């Protein structure tokens, strides 16, 4: 038997079933940015990023894989670039791949000892995110930043630890250039 693939990867988006589209607006990113005054002054309905996910098995299934395409818009809140919420995995040892398709950005990673480092994202860059490592992406360019992701279907997202303690370093726009401080 020959099957059509259920999902098509069209350049930067996914179409078909079951593709889930998630939109994150500024109001969903409370307690993420450093400059609370700048955050409060901003339009809470501003879309910061969209994620198209292909979830072929149930969340929590051991041994399966999920696939996602994230489109992160350009912008800043105070001195910080628009960025994803960032997370550890709920099953902490689960790893993930990110790869950049379009735009310019930085992948911030932080281990369990709160050591934070960054990798530059540019079209074609491939990033292996080891287990026990929090990950967040910032758009440091003037256009959209699009990246793919592949992660285990039982990894889960632990956002609470990041909302509470943040990353130990922040990526700031200093004279228009990214600086990890
Ligand atoms: C990637 C994957 C997803 C994640 C998304 C947005 O596509 O890592 O699991 O949801 O980026 O990142 P976040 O969940 O941190 O907002
Ligand atoms: Zn992840």
Task: Give residue 16's pLDDT.
Answer: 85
Q: Is 161 left (phi over 0), alpha (psi -120 to 50) or beta?
A: alpha
Task: Give residue 176's pLDDT.
Answer: 81
Q: What is the arithmetic mean of pLDDT over 25-36?
A: 97
Atom of ligand 1 nearest to the CA of 147: 7
- Ligand 1 lined by 89 (C-beta under 6 Å): no
Q: Which residue has the higher pLDDT, 136 or 6?
A: 136
pLDDT single digits (tens) 139-165: 999 999 999 999 999 999 999 999 999
- Cβ–Cβ < 8 Å for 33, 76: no
- Ligand 1 lined by 70 (C-beta under 6 Å): yes
- Ligand 1 lined by 167 (C-beta under 6 Å): no
- 127 pLDDT exceeds 90? yes
- 13 pLDDT exceeds 90? no
The interface pTM score, or ipTM, of the predicted complex is 0.99
Q: Architecture of 7-180 per CATH?
A: Sandwich (2.60)
Buried b (16+ CB within 10 A) or exposed e, 109-128: bbeeeeebebbebeeebebe
How many residues are given for the chain? 181
Cβ-based neighbours of 8, under 8 Å, separated by 6 or more = 14, 15, 16
Choose which residue among 84, 95, 110 to substitute to test ligand 1 binding: the one with the highest number of ligand atoms within 8 A of its C-beta: 84
- Ligand 1 lined by 51 (C-beta under 6 Å): yes
Task: Give residue 17's pLDDT.
Answer: 79
Q: Where are the domains of the chain?
A: 7-180
- Cβ–Cβ < 8 Å for 168, 34: no
Q: Which residue has the higher pLDDT, 61 or 16?
A: 61
Task: Give residue 10's pLDDT.
Answer: 76
Ligand number, closest to the Cα atom of 105: 1
């Amino acid at each position: 038997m020959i099957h059509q693939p259920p999902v098509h990867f069209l350049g930067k988006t996914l179409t078909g079933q079951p593709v889930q589209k998630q939109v994150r607006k500024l109001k969903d990113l409370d307690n993420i940015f450093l400059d609370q005054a700048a955050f409060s002054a901003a339009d809470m309905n501003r879309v910061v990023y969209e994620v198209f996910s292909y979830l072929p098995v149930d969340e929590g299934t051991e041994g399966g894989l999920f696939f996602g395409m994230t489109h992160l818009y350009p912008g800043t809140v105070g001195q910080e670039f628009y960025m994803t919420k960032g997370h550890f995995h709920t099953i902490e040892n689960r790893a993930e791949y990110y790869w950049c398709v379009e735009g310019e950005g930085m992948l911030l990673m932080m281990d369990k000892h709160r050591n934070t480092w960054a990798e530059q994202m540019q079209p074609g860059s491939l990033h292996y995110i080891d287990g026990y490592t929090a990950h967040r992406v910032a758009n440091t360019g003037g256009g959209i930043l699009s990246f793919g992701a592949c992660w285990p279907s039982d990894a889960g997202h632990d956002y609470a630890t990041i909302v509470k303690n943040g990353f130990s370093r922040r990526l700031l726009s200093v004279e228009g250039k990214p600086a990890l401080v």
